[in-house]
Each structure stands twice: as structure tokens, then as C-alpha cells.
Structure 1
């Protein structure tokens, strides 16, 4: 019997290999409003966080408020590129479909982006489970534990028997703060040198290269 009663998936970089898409679009939009930003800078500064939490940092660097259209412009760019650029993280779909225990998505992204991605990638919502979004379901986003704790409460799971699969430092910090076991996944196209060390420093209990390694974690005794 598995030691986990619930598996929580982050979305971007864990189910969808979308971190490069998202952050390239972010870099272009921020550069367009007068804040020159590279892909690497966007990955380092904004990956895994809600727009609501990124915006104050962007405005501080910009020295003025963002144009009101900034979020819409970023969203539109991501959505327009999803049809041709969005792919699933290798092994994610089969892994989700094979689980015997409840599972869900708990992401900083809004539900419409997640639903669009699942449809584009051909992943059944039933396999992914309920969607919980830091943009709508909680007041505080990652790295706070609120979203993961909300998901566990909704699904009646003990945080101590919950596995979180994350790819970002804020996400790992949130899972650890929630008292859950956190696997830091290195399977997305955005993974750079030093990423494993950053996830470990954030408190990830396991650093895993792929979904086969997550399966091994789940089958491992305490």
C-alpha cells in the first residue's frame, strides 16, 4: 500500500512543458513595456509565482505601475502560442492515468490556462483530477502553503500523507510549509544547471529526473 493518500501536481513544468513558453512571453511583454527582460531573468524571477505576486516586483523594477493591459497581453500571447508550442512533460499523462489514489492540480496559473492545456495535450480531466488555482482559490500564493492545504482539505487528505510534485522553488517551499512530501521534478525543458540544487535548498525531499523516479519514491517504504 502506498504511503500517500493524495498526489498533488503543479501544472506548468510538471504536467505541461510550458515554462519556456510562459516565460518567453513574459520576457517579451515586460520588454515591451520598458523593462528589458530576458528568458533567463523571467525564469529566475517569476517562475512558479502568481501574476498577483509578480506584479509588485515588476512595478518596483519598472519604477511605475504596469499598464493595465499587461496581464491580458501576456495571457493572450501564451494562449496564442499554446496550439503550436505546448506539449506535455514526458510521462506525465501516463503517470496520472495509472494512479490508484486521488490526485489534483494545484497551480499558480488560472484555471482557464490549465483547462486549455489539458485539452490541447489530450489529457483527460478525470485523469488530472480537480483543479485548484492560486489565482482564485486562496489569498496567499506560493511559497505560502495555503493552496496545497486547501487542496488537501477539499479532498479529505492528511498533509502528512500527501505527495507534491513541483518544479519551482516557490512551489517546493509551499509544499514543505504544508507538511507534505515534496518531489522536485527535473523533467521540463526549462531545467538549467543548478536547478536541482535550488530545489534541494528549498527543502525538496526527493529530486527526481522523471516520472519513473517518482513512481519509485511512491513505492519506497518510509
Structure 2
């Protein structure tokens, strides 16, 4: 839910960085859960970004599937408390192009994605 998402982002100190552009299925007018790509399609439309220029960071198999269905590139994330042995493999099988377990690795991956093509400044 949107409230749970807000609480989690506040707990990590990230809420003010993303607000007010935070979306969940309730806010986009659909109750279709992931792997429906609707929440990602809404965000792409909201920001006016073509899907092939977007990168999604996802920690769930269904989230990776949804992001791929939207046409975005996907980075799997296994740095959360709910990670288990084999989690990275499952994210890759679902469509993540690569998997990181520390957000500190994100700039290098973003630079590599840009070099591989499809991303713009």
C-alpha cells in the first residue's frame, strides 16, 4: 500500500528524496498486483520517459517480471532483509540483467548500462 511504502521510505531516510513521485497500485488506479506492469507504465508516463531509457531496481521475482513487461531495464537487488540463498538466481531467471546486493554498486552498474546502450543522460 502507499502508506506502507511511505513508512518504509521514511525509515530509510529516502522519502523526501522521492516524494511526491511515489506510486503503488492503489495510486495508479489499478489493483492488479505485480507481475502486471501497470505501476511501471504509470511511472514512465508520469515522467515522460521511454521504457528503453528507464532502469528499475527490484527485489522481488514478480517485480522483476513486471518491470521487464513494461519494457524497462531491470537490476535485481538482494540487499534487503528478506534475501535468501538462490535469490539472485531467481531474479536473473525472471529477467534482471544483473543483480547487486549493495546500493553502493549502483553507479557502476548504471555506467555500464549506459555504455551498453539504451540509456541517455
Distance 1:124 1:137 in 2: 18
Q: Report the structure number with the largest CA radius of gyration.
A: 1
Instruction: Give how far 1:134 is off.
Output: 1.2
Structure-1 residue corresponding to 2:26: 135
Which structure 1 segments of 5+ residues have no match?
1-109
Structure-2 residue corresponding to 1:195: 87
Instruction: Give how far 1:216 is off.
Output: 0.8
Question: Secondary structure, in 3 states, of the residue corresponding to 2:23?
Answer: strand
Distance 1:120 1:137 in 2: 23
| 1:173-212 mapped onto 2 (5 Å cutoff) | 173-212=65-104
TM-score of the aligned structures, taking structure 1 as reference length = 0.47
Q: Is the 8 A contact 2:77 2:99 kept in 1?
A: yes
Structure-1 residue corresponding to 2:106: 214
Distance 1:138 1:169 in 2: 23
Q: Is the 8 A contact 2:6 2:15 kept in 1?
A: no
| 1:167-178 mapped onto 2 (5 Å cutoff) | 167-178=59-70
Structure-1 residue corresponding to 2:119: none
Instruction: Give how far 1:138 is off.
Output: 3.9
Aligned residues: 112
Q: Is the 8 A contact 1:138 1:147 kept in 2?
A: no
Distance 1:145 1:124 in 2: 23
Distance 1:188 1:112 in 2: 19
CA RMSD of aligned residues (A): 1.5
Q: Is the 8 A contact 1:160 1:181 kept in 2?
A: yes
Question: Secondary structure, in 3 states, of the residue corresponding to 1:133?
Answer: coil
Which structure 2 segments of 5+ residues have no match?
117-121
